[in-house]
């Protein structure tokens, strides 16, 4: 698996982007540019980058978003690493056998070209995301 991005919760997308830009981050040309609304998850997503590090900003749009409780708990902060895998199903299955639990079933992510992503948690490590290559 290869690190694909760092997921970062933010309360206000525009203000967060400007703050990151002030540190030298720029809009990431892929998997998308600018801010995209993910309707099924009720979040705005924006990919930015610096020094080869890709950061995904995630902003819950309202209290109905299932990401809202995460924002309440963590505030503005990095909360997951996402790994890209060439063998999505096999990787998820293998992780399940080594202490990882699925917390969000595999589903297409509009912000990542419709590729399937899956969120998993491990008591010793917290949350990771897998995305199919
Ligand atoms: Ni992510």
Q: What digits encode the pLDDT tens for the residues 17-53?
A: 999 999 999 998 877 789 999 888 899 999 999 999 9
Q: Contact 128/122 with Cβ under 8 angstroms?
A: yes
Q: What are 37's strand-pairing partners?
A: 44
The pair of three-digit structure tokens given for residue 94, joined into one six-digit string: 């293998």
Q: What is the mean pLDDT of residues 114-119?
A: 92
45 CA from centroid of ligand 1 (Å): 9
The DSSP 8-state label assigned to residue 111 in this structure reads: G
Rounded CA gap, 132 and 130, in Å? 7
Question: How many angstroms separate the CA atoms of 40 and 29, rounded?
Answer: 23
Distance 82 CA to ligand 1 centre (A): 5
pTM greater than the 0.95 cutoff: no
H or E element that contains 131: strand 126-132
Helix, coil or strand: residue 26: strand
Structure tokens at 36: 């995209």
Q: Using one digit for the tens of pLDDT, what is the confidence trace for 60-104?
A: 998 889 889 989 998 999 999 999 999 999 999 999 999 999 998
**Is the confidence at residue 12, as pLDDT, over 80?**
yes
Q: Ligand 1: distance of its center to the CA of 47 in Å?
A: 10
Q: What is the mean pLDDT of residues 121-128?
A: 92
pLDDT of the residue at 74: 87
Q: What is the mean predicted confidence (pLDDT) over 101-118?
A: 87
* CA 23 distance to own-chain centroid: 20
- CA of 20 from ligand 1 middle (Å) equals 17
CA of 32 to the centre of ligand 1 (A): 13
């Amino acid at each position: 698996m290869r690190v694909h991005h760092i997921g970062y919760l933010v309360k206000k997308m525009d203000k967060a982007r400007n703050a990151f830009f002030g540190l030298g981050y720029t809009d990431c040309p892929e998997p998308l540019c600018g801010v995209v609304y993910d309707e099924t998850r009720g979040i705005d997503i924006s990919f930015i980058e610096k020094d080869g590090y890709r950061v995904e900003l995630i902003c819950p749009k309202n209290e109905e978003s299932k990401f809202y409780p995460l924002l309440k708990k963590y505030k503005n902060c990095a909360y997951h690493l996402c790994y890209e895998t060439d063998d999505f199903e096999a990787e998820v299955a293998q992780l399940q056998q080594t202490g990882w639990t699925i917390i969000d079933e595999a589903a297409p992510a509009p912000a990542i070209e419709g590729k399937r992503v899956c969120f998993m948690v491990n008591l010793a490590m917290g949350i990771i995301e897998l995305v199919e290559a």
